[in-house]
Every structure is written in C-alpha cells, then in structure tokens.
Homo-oligomer: A and B are copies of this chain.
Amino acid sequence: MQPESTIPAMTYTISVNVMPLKDLLDPQGKAVLNGLGNLGLKGVSDVRIGKRITLQIDAESEEAARALAEEAAKKLLANPVMEYFEIG
C-alpha cells in the first residue's frame, strides 16, 4: 500500500453573518425596535436583522475552511443586491 500522503482533514466551524445593506430599510428590524419600546426597554435606537449561518467544514486548514465559507457566501448565502456578509 502507498503511504497516505494527504494531510488528514479536520472539521472547522465557520460562521457567516449576512446582514441587510446599510442603505436599505429593514422593516423586520423596525418592527422589533417598536416591540422593544412596547416592552419598556429604553435605550435601543436601531435594530438590524440578518442571518447567521454556521457551517461545519472538513478542510486541511482553517484558512482553507474560511476560503470555502467565503465562496459559499458569494455563490449562495448572500444576495449582494440586498445584503453584505462577514466571515466569523
């Protein structure tokens, strides 16, 4: 048998935050802002609501896992017309 030449993959947990673009209205956030006021929670001046996507990625390094997460965000997770994303 040939010796195993590949580095064994580890599983990394990488999170992608997908948020509405800052220039766009966020009606869901506005509704939550009103709800907080109705509950008597004072001091909140703005609320923005986006998605948090946690990926379990098998990769040879954390850099490779983060690169895959970024590719996933660009290709599927975020809609650049309305959203931006951050890794981590």
Residues of A bordering B, CB below 8 Å = 9, 11, 17-19, 29, 32, 35-36, 39, 41, 43-59, 65, 68, 71-72, 75-77
CA distance A17 to B18 in the complex (A): 12
List 6 tightest A-B contacts by C-beta distance, closest first: A46-B56, A52-B52, A48-B54, A45-B56, A43-B58, A50-B52
Determine the main DSSP class of A at the interface with B. Answer: strand
Q: How far is the CB of A11 from chain B (nearest CB, A)?
A: 7
CA distance A19 to B54 in the complex (A): 9
B-chain residues with CB within 8 Å of residue A11 when the two chains form the complex: 45
Q: Does the CB pair A51–B50 fall under 8 Å?
A: yes
